[in-house]
A and B are shown apart, each in its own frame.
Chain A
Amino acid sequence: MIFDLEETRAILRMIETEHLDIRTVTLGISLRGCATTDITETSRRVYEHIMRSAERLVPIAKEVNAAYGVPIVNKRIAVTPIALVGEPTGAASYVPLAQALDRAAEELGIDYIAGFSALCEKGMTTGDSVLLESIPEALATTGRVCSSINVATTRAGINMDAIALMGHVIRALAQATADRGGIGCAKLVTFANMPEDNPFVAGANHGIGEGDLTLNVGVSGPGVVLSALRRLRESGRAISLTDVAETIKRMSFKVTRAGELIGQEVARRLGGKVRFGIVDLSLAPTPAMGDSVAEILEILGLERTGCHGTTAALALLTDAVKKGGAMATSSVGGLSGAFIPVSEDHDMVAAVKCGALSLDKLEAMTAVCSVGLDMVAVPGDTSAAMLSAIIADEISIGTFNNKTTAVRIIPVPGKGPGETVDFGGLLGQAIVMPVSKYQPDGFISLGGRIPAPVISLRN
């Protein structure tokens, strides 16, 4: 016999009680062929091209789900950064393009479509400016479109003008969706070193170096790692942190293998020009109990996430996840680390509620995790310059450490520190976190570019 009972039982346990699932299969679609000099015509082509390319995504994901028994939670689409597609139109607003994306996603049964994006790490073209200015209306009038802006790379440095503008964009977007707690901002990410093949929204996009159609996969698995660590602790053996790292590696290996298998299968069944892209190894929490990254940190003996020691524990976790995952697939990509989206992780929310986790500690944690300040709620009266300064700090961590960092921050209209806002569904519930009472306005208004760090000189 090639398998034993315990092996099949272990898989069933992972799926049924530990939330093992494929968090997302994301089809990247190149829209480079859709550019025309007329915004209406471009919108039409974008819509039609997406409908043609992705019409099988949802039915096939369901088929694979049924055949393998591993749930595929989300089916999503990432497209070429829209600023590149919209620029030849010379239009003053790209809102029609956002609406075309939204309509296609709705008709295909897809919850989020990402790529209303611009790449402006070094400078901004006319198209980039138009896109940024279109964001508040585009995201407020659509439900499924996500936007991401790259404002820095380790190679190019940090575009502080773009960051200054982002402060205003975020404020305007929060105001435009004020009736829903500023939820528009949950669909907007500001990046340093934005990956071109990230399958996770809101930051997904189909990079300009990609092929026509690429299928990328994002796995989940905090629940699986958590249960394995709990079993390790309850085994009664004397354990060290090396055992912990080893356990996480093993679990990450299994989770990633499941992701690769399902991704390859979905890509194969989609056929045609679709190529399998990458597996993003990130541990992605959900608001469900037992599916939390913060809970993993706490089972390692931290009383609350955010207390001293949290950064070290998170570093161990992220590194072990990468090592196990890298062994399991040859196609690692995207963000690949551990996500710490505050509102989407029930234990993280609890840590903010009891005062253990502050914005500053969160920023330190992002130096060793894979994303950044993610789904962070701040007071509604936070100024644009203050938002820009928070972004600039986070972006610096990424740029100067040669890694991806990002900010998804929501200035919740009409709410102050300690108040709760509920975004619903996967986005969860957030507690508004206080920001510094001292103003950074002078620094932000200087503008210009922070030169690329010396580590960028690698040739």
Chain B
Amino acid sequence: MARIVTHAEVAQVPDGGELIIEPGAELTPLAKERATARRIRVAVGSPSVGEDTLQVAARVAEQILVRLGKTDESVVEKVASEVMAALGGVTAVESAPGLPPSADYCSTYLESERSRARRKVVITATGQNQKGVVAKLTAILADLGCDILDISQTLVGDYFTMLVIVDMAEMQADFAQLKSSLQQAAASMGFHVMLMHEDLVRSLHRV
């Protein structure tokens, strides 16, 4: 059974490094894509046969040819590489042998993600009222490139709540980064912040 090399295996190789797979093994489309993106060279061969073996093979070939009375360098090289191939040595491949892509998953996905209109998040902040809360939180949103679509605040006694709806379409960070920076800032003021994808709120509460 041919071994399938997955993206998990590629992840263990450092950027620009080399991944040696045994003959017959195949890369999944995702593994191939990640390897290309991270400039990892994929070679077929058994890792135990390396440069030393190549030199030995060349010397052996040379000796044989000397005894046969031929000393043409190019013949030596050719024989050496044939010996290596027979040994199953490392041969770099132009493009890694990959499975035919069943679908152009990655580009379709990225494209649709970029052009996706509904990228809104609902942010709520609650806590003891104090000066500068709105300023501090909205500054973070502005820094990350979020567009505030709607904002409201209420004060019940000394208790402040704020609800902001933000468009993330041009945000220069991902959802997790937005969440952690808002939560860090809020925590320093004793506030509690929650973030929720608008789709989730909408689908649970609207018919």
Contacts and interface: CB of A to CB of B under 8 A. Distances in A.
Contacts of B199: 68, 261, 265
B103 A257 contact: no
A52 interface: yes
Contacts of A327: 207
Contact of A52 (B99, B126, B154, B196): B99
A3 B176 CA distance: 22
Contacts of A10: 204-205
A178 interface: no
B1 to A, nearest CB: 4
A56 B4 contact: no
Contacts of A2: 150, 165
A44 B2 contact: yes
B180 to A, nearest CB: 12
Given A51-B28, A66-B176, A68-B200, A272 B103 contact: yes
Contacts of A8: 122, 124, 163, 194, 196, 201
A273 B104 CA distance: 11
Contact of B200 (A9, A109, A258): A258
The DSSP consensus for interface residues of chain B is mixed
Contact of B161 (A5, A66, A270): A5
A4 B163 contact: yes
The DSSP consensus for interface residues of chain A is helix
A69 B195 contact: yes
Given A1-B163, A272-B103, A47 B30 contact: no
A257 B203 contact: yes
A3 B2 contact: no
Interface residues of B, number: 40
B89 interface: no
Given A5-B163, A12-B194, A53 B102 contact: yes
A254 interface: yes
A415 interface: no
A51 B27 CA distance: 10
Given A8-B196, A48-B4, 14 more contacts: A1-B152, A1-B163, A3-B165, A5-B154, A10-B204, A12-B194, A48-B99, A56-B30, A109-B8, A258-B200, A258-B203, A270-B105, A271-B103, A271-B108
Interface of A: 1-5, 7-12, 40, 43-44, 47-48, 51-53, 55-56, 59, 66-70, 100, 107-109, 254, 257-258, 260-261, 265, 268-273, 327
